[in-house]
Structure 1
Amino acid sequence: MSKKKKWTLIIVIPLVLIIIVAGSYAIYLYNKTEDMVSDSQEKVGRENETSDLREEAVDPVEDNVSVLFIGVDNSEFRDEKASRSDALILGTFNKQNSSVKLLSIPRDSYVYVPKVDRNTKINHAHFFGGPKATIETVENFLHVPVDYYAKVNFEGFIEVVDSLGGISYDVPYEIWESDSDDDKNSIHLMPGEQQLNGEQALALARTRKYDNDVERGKRQQEILRTIVNKATAASSILKLGETVDAIGNNMTTSLSFGDMKDFLAYGLDENISIETVNLDGSGGYMDDGLWYFQVDEESKHDIQTDLRNHLDLKENIDKGDYASDEESTNTY
């Protein structure tokens, strides 16, 4: 065999092996993800699984759509099925602009909950009726359709961050916070850029003692963005199997595997734009002795208009189509 042929084989054989291994791993991840989504899928329970604010069903490939991300606490001290949502983030996805808007909704926002026909904190909606009641409440509050939802519990959040080897984050201030088992002050973080494990990242996302609900929502948006960036980085490719396991064991979603594949276009677009938006307002105690966040109406209207435009929906809204969101003293 000539020297040229030998060197050709030395170069080509490893490349072929790499391609085979990479292809096998891709197939493995594909099948693993398909199984995970199948096991995690849980429909909302709406007619044709379509929002009442839509004239017809949507398709993530062709249409601009929205996803409500629900974070719930499922520690041993709480029953997830009768739990309140600890985080609510509404994401709207625009195909034409390859852009995403993320709205964090303060958990103590005083809103009308259709399931119980009265006003209370928005995070109580999940307690009264799970994802469906939460979706109905968010739609009534913002008059923006929620096409899909994904609910992840705290254990899933922790496992995802740990499966990625942690995340690098600039902690804004010193904090003392409970861990996921409610062990008081077991998490202690100093300010500055540092590597956070799952428990630490969760503590930072959850804490409300050092600022307010609005700032907490901004932190959650930024932490979510950091996790997504880490998960899609080339250095995380070999960790994706663990990440899929972490998500699958702790998530329920109305998205099918086909729907999730359709969202890949956003993740693969290097020019994708992700914008975070937040509601203004103020907090205070009401006659029932509980603290509520009162959303500023002008801020709500501006964000409502912004999200509807992002979904390419008409700006004008017939409020007669929606339940009353006037204040009620009959609180939870």
Structure 2
Amino acid sequence: MSSTRGGGLPPRSSGGRGRSASDTPARRSTAASTGGSGGGGRRPAVKRKKSGAKRFWKAFAIVVILLLVGVGVYLGWVYQKSQLIGTAGEPEKPASTQPIAMAILGSDFREETGSNLTDVVMVAAMNPKTNTATVVSLPRDTRIELDGYKVRKVNAYYPAFLAQEKKGEGNAEEAIKRMLGKYFDIPLDYVTVVNFQSLKDIVDAVGGIDVDVTMDMCYKDTADGTDINLKAGPQKLDGKNALDYVRYRKTNCNPPTKPSDDFSRNQRQQQVIGAIMDKLQTFNAVTKSGSLIEAVADNTKTDLENKQIFNLVRTYWDIPRENISYPKLAGSWRSPFVYINDSELSAAKQALKDELAGKHQPAAPVEEQ
């Protein structure tokens, strides 16, 4: 990075290479003050001081180059990590330049139970041009009635599609993507299914999340090892407790704690997602993207391409929390289903369409119960 200009290499002297020690500073000063006329020789070159501004910009340029190299190496490393998840090939709609929509399912699969009910069912639309997203959560007991499909709770469709897949009747992920796309009246580009362990690992990978727990929660089940015991108030949750907070529905403890309906569960899911996003936007969390990808690799099924995962990480890791809208879906419970309010469902569908069209609808803050 050295230069011969503006304070780079020192100027060559006007004398010979064997300049004697008798050419003292005083003598050189005299020659300089008289214009060097005494001997008719050339005026000795005067050492120029480096410009403060030039030194600054030179140092700044070096820092910028190092940062660019560092970011390039880091993003390349994240891309290599992203090979652990997803499929090969080029994405038809790169998430870095085009809006995409994706179904996100949280399965209760655990080795202890073998169940695949989807306690979390979300559809997310994301737009890179506005750096915004809209996420709609369906209560797990939502009644779904669609042409060509058997009436079921929304959380029962994925297990049914898995059963069909085992019989050679299509792919379960493709089937749930088509069904939810038809329900919300938008084309879904991708589907991602994560199990309980993935949420625990993600929260632990970012060092825990800060959450204001809405109420006391207590529930125990020795059959599958469930042991939920949370107290209301602001606190830092590790992966296990974050999962307990999202899952909690009822109590069997003495004294009992207040039960939770599906609408409150959805609000807690959004609260936890927001807390995870907050942690992802810190520098330390960003440098751990590789460990985050590893955290979900063994617990995720997705049709996202490897390069699309990289696009998503690069494009949305710093999305402001206030840029994510959660349209409210309320309804009524009439056993065994939740019946979603028609007007709110229509509004949620429109919000997803607007997001894809670049017309993000800011949502009201989530009210904690």
- Global fold match (TM > 0.5): yes
Equivalence for 1:164: 206
Q: Distance in 2 between matches of 1:308 and 1:224?
A: 22
Select which of 259, 278, 281 maps to 2:328.
278
Equivalence for 2:106: 71
TM superposition score normalised by structure 1: 0.74
Letter in 1 for 2:242: A
Rg bigger for which structure? 2
Aligned partner of residue 34 in structure 1, secondary structure: helix
The CA deviation at 1:103 is: 0.8
1:37-85 Cα shifts (integer Å, max 9, x gaps) = 3342259xxxx999xxxxxx54423332112111112212233xx6121
Select which of 79, 82, 107 maps to 2:140.
107
Cα 1:236–1:136 change in 2 (3 A) is same
Equivalence for 2:269: 220
Equivalence for 2:154: 122
> Is 2:238 the partner of 1:197?
yes
Select which of 249, 270, 281 maps to 1:208.
249
Cα 1:273–1:132 change in 2 (3 A) is same
> Is 2:216 the partner of 1:174?
yes
Contact 2:208–2:236 (CA<8 Å) still a contact in 1? yes
1:164-185 Cα shifts (integer Å, max 9, x gaps) = 221111000000135897324x
Cα 1:219–1:261 change in 2 (3 A) is same
> Is 2:347 the partner of 1:302?
yes
> Is 2:284 the partner of 1:253?
no
Aligned partner of residue 111 in structure 2, secondary structure: coil
> Is 2:271 the partner of 1:236?
no
> Is 2:62 the partner of 1:27?
no
The CA deviation at 1:206 is: 1.1
Letter in 2 for 1:236: A
Q: Distance in 2 between matches of 1:297 and 1:90?
A: 17
Contact 2:327–2:351 (CA<8 Å) still a contact in 1? no
TM superposition score normalised by structure 2: 0.67
Q: Distance in 2 between matches of 1:305 and 1:93?
A: 14
Q: Distance in 1 between matches of 2:72 and 2:204?
A: 22
Contact 1:114–1:136 (CA<8 Å) still a contact in 2? no
Equivalence for 1:134: 176
Q: Distance in 1 between matches of 2:110 and 2:321?
A: 38
The CA deviation at 1:28 is: 6.1
Letter in 2 for 1:66: A
Aligned partner of residue 149 in structure 1, secondary structure: strand
The CA deviation at 1:201 is: 0.3
The CA deviation at 1:224 is: 1.1
Identity of aligned residues (%): 23
The CA deviation at 1:270 is: 5.7
Equivalence for 1:266: 316
Unaligned runs of 5+ in 2: 1-61, 162-171, 251-258, 360-369
Q: Distance in 2 between matches of 1:180 and 1:201?
A: 19
The CA deviation at 1:100 is: 0.8
Cα 1:244–1:262 change in 2 (3 A) is closer
**RMSD (Å) for aligned C-alpha atoms:** 3.5
The CA deviation at 1:292 is: 0.8
Equivalence for 2:54: none
Contact 1:164–1:231 (CA<8 Å) still a contact in 2? yes
Unaligned runs of 5+ in 1: 1-15, 51-56, 286-290, 315-332
